[in-house]
Structure 1
Amino acid sequence: MGIKSFQGPRAKDRKTPTKGTEQKVKVADHMTRKLITLGPNQTLLDVMEIYLKHKITGAPVVDEDGTLIGIISDSDCMKQISEGRYFNMPIADLTVEKFMTRDVETISGEATVFDAAARFFKTRHRRFPVVEGGRLVGQISRKDVMEAAMKLNGQDWH
C-alpha cells in the first residue's frame, strides 16, 4: 500500500510572467500622487474649509521646498474645537504648525500593498505619506490598499 496524499492535485507550474504582465503590488503603483497639501502657517479654519470642500479627512504639511514636515487630521481639528469651547478660545487664529503631528510615520514607495495593509491593521492611521529624499511624492490610504486588492487576482498575490 502506497502513501496517500491529502493535499489534492497540485497546480501545474506557471511560466514566469512576461515583462508587463506581473501584478503591480508596490505602494508606488497605487498611491495618490496629486495631493492636497497644507502649509504650516495656514489656519485651522482654512484646513476645515479645505477638508469639507474636497471631502478629505487629513493632509500632509509641507514647507516651501515640498519637504514633509507634518500631518494634520480632522481629529486634530476636532480636538481644538472641543477645547476651544471649554477655554473660550476661538480657533480662527490657530495655525497648522501648532497642532500638526511632526513625527510622521511614512512608507516607502517600494513597499508592497500587503506591507501597507499590515501597517494599517497595526495602527489607527488612515494614510501614510510616501517620501523620497525627504520630499513628499505621494500618499497611500486604506482605500487605495483596498482598491489594489480588488484589482489583484488572489492566486497571483506574491
Structure 2
Amino acid sequence: MVEDTLKVEDCMSRQYVAFKATMPVIEAANLLCENELLGGPVVDKDGRLEGWISEQDCLNAVNQVFYFDEQSATVADVMRTDVLTVKRDLSLNDLASQMCAHKPKIYPVVDDHGQVLGVVSRRRILKKMCHQIVNKKKVPAQHTA
C-alpha cells in the first residue's frame, strides 16, 4: 500500500483559464479550444466561483449559432451553477474515489470563501498516483536489526 500523504494541492494546477459570466459563449469556446481545455471556472470580479463552463456547454451553444445564427448567448446562459468543488487539503485518495463516483473530469479547487485557487483533473491525479506507486517500488526496503 502506498502512503496516503498526497493532497489535492500537490497536483492541482494553479494556472487555469477563468471565465466571466458576461463573456460571449463563442469567446469562451475559443479559449477552451486554444488552451485545449475540457472546461473552466466562471468567476466573479473577486475570483470567487460562480459556475463552470464545459466543452459540452459550449458545443451546444455553438451548434445553435452555427445553424440558427443566435450569437447573443453568454457564459451565464449556459454555465452550470451546481459545481462540485474540492478543498486543497483533501487527500488524493479521497478525491480519486469521488471522481470515480461522479461525472466531472475536472474540479475547481476553492478555499473556504469560494475563491478559486486552481483546478485538478482526473489525468493529473492519475499521473501523480502512478508516479507515487512507481517511485515507491524503486525505493529499496530498509531492514532494521
- What is the identity, as a one-letter code, of the residue corresponding to 2:120? I
**Matching residue within 103, 106, 122 for 1:142:** 122
Residues 93, 83 of structure 1: alpha-carbon distance in 2 compared, 3 angstrom cutoff: closer
Correspondence for 1:54: 35
Correspondence for 2:133: 153
Once superposed, what is the RMSD of the aligned Cα atoms?
2.0
Structure number with higher helix proportion? 2
CA-CA distance at 1:85 after TM superposition:
6.2
Aligned length: 133
Residues 29, 134 of structure 1: alpha-carbon distance in 2 compared, 3 angstrom cutoff: same
CA distance in 1, matches of 2:114, 2:78: 21
User: Does the 8 Å CA contact 2:86/2:108 hold for their aligned counterparts?
Assistant: yes
Q: Aligned with 2:118: secondary structure?
A: strand
CA distance in 2, matches of 1:119, 1:154: 23
Q: Please say which structure displays the higher CA radius of gyration.
A: 1
Regions of 4+ moved over 6 Å? none
TM-score, normalising length: structure 1: 0.76
Correspondence for 1:6: none
Correspondence for 1:19: none
Alignment of 1:23-102 (within 5 A): 24-83=5-64, 88-90=68-70, 92-102=71-81
User: Does the 8 Å CA contact 2:4/2:91 hold for their aligned counterparts?
Assistant: no
Q: Among the aligned pairs, what percent are the same residue? A: 26
User: Does the 8 Å CA contact 1:57/1:73 hold for their aligned counterparts?
Assistant: yes
